[in-house]
Amino acid sequence: MGRLGDVEPIVLPANLPETFYRGSGRLAAFRGTELPPRPEDWVGSATARFGQFPTGLSSLPDGRRLADALAADPVAWLGPEHAERFGADPGVLVKLLDAGQRLPVHVHPDRAFARSHLASPYGKSEAWIVLDAAPEASVRLGFTRDVPREELARWVTDQDVAALLGATNELPVAAGDVLFCPAGAPHAIGPEILLVELQEPTDFSVLLEQEGFPVAAEDALLRLPMEVALECVDRRGYSPARLAQLRGSSSGSLLPAEADEFFRAELLTAGDVRGFAVLVVIDGDGSLAGDWGRTPIVRGGTLVLPHAAGPARVEGAVRLVRCGPGSVG
């Protein structure tokens, strides 16, 4: 891989691109350090902000961009099977997201829309693993009923936020809850929530709600005509049964099977970690042990594990989330 440090887990510094909403302070508390007051930490990111390259790209401790290291030796970083199919593309983006205010109601396009309109093989399905939440915290996910195209267009044109919110399912959340948010689903993360977010490696969002958020009008619609941008919205109602399908587990493999094609996450307390992974230490302290020796890990730490490091053994009273690409890229 060109540098000895690349064959062991690499502890990542915080990567805090500016964004348009406020944080709650939970991110700095989780990280256990003083941080700029920004609400997102892009962990092990080879993805740039929409229209703002290179903002969002992670740097390694030696100053290189992770994306450049992946491009220089994708086999060693990602493994031969992954590199043969996808080159230097890790196929996943992981974030720590700290919502200090309710995010706007928005939608992410699916892969078919992204291929047709955004020159990307990836849409932006995502999943939320809640680490901390205030009492009575909630998220919005999916419409409560089928919404006609004309009605949705009117809400967006008039910025009828009450109608948008009134037509979305409100779901209470607490620490340990896991939800999959498929591309196309209108959604909004409520205030006072800290979560690990896995997503496809893009920054594509269509803001149905724009009023009160400092986002340029053209960027809010991905620089597409409104009638085109709104075609990415899943206007079907999400029944209680459908919402139940989107809930994950609090242990082991965390995400519902529907997410497997996009990304995977598992909660680890012991055993081996194999293959390329982005790791978020959510509780305790311990170490990762392997042929290189031992790497201390502690709550709030984030790491990237190259494939070439071989198996890493989790030791100590520690819990971590292993994040990786899905079965299909």
- Res 125 pLDDT > 70: yes
- Res 3 pLDDT > 80: no
At 237 the pLDDT is 98
Of 227, 231, 233, nearest to 157 (Cα)?
227
CA–CA–CA angle 181, 138, 254 (5° rounding): 45
- Res 4 pLDDT > 80: no
Q: Which position has the token pair 């003083």?
A: 34
Q: Which residue has the higher pLDDT, 34 or 176?
A: 176
- Res 6 pLDDT > 80: no
First to last CA, the chain: 23
pLDDT (mean) for 254-261: 96
Domains and CATH numbers, the chain: 14-259 (2.60.120.10), 263-325 (2.60.120.10)
Taken as a whole, the chain contains a residue count of 329
DSSP 48: P
At 7 the pLDDT is 85
Q: CA–CA separation, 192 vs 283, rounded Å?
A: 19
pLDDT in tens, 138-178: 999 999 999 999 999 999 999 999 999 999 999 999 999 99
Which two structure tokens, joined as six digits, stand for 183?
């591309």
Asked if 323 contacts 92 with a C-beta cutoff of 8 angstroms, the reply is: yes
Which two structure tokens, joined as six digits, stand for 78?
């990602």
At 329 the pLDDT is 41
Which two structure tokens, joined as six digits, stand for 31?
């990280």
Q: CA–CA separation, 195 vs 89, rounded Å?
A: 24
Asked if 257 contacts 263 with a C-beta cutoff of 8 angstroms, the reply is: no
Asked if 212 contacts 105 with a C-beta cutoff of 8 angstroms, the reply is: no
Amino acid at 98: D
Residue 247's DSSP bridge partners are 179
Q: Please, where are the H alpha helices in 120-225?
A: 149-158, 161-166, 217-220
Of 220, 233, 231, nearest to 51 (Cα)?
220
pLDDT in tens, 267-298: 999 999 999 999 999 999 999 999 999 999 99
Q: CA–CA separation, 132 vs 168, rounded Å?
A: 23
67: enclosing H helix or E strand: helix 66-72
Q: Which position has the token pair 């597409």?
A: 224
Query: Average pLDDT of the chain?
Result: 95
114: enclosing H helix or E strand: helix 111-117
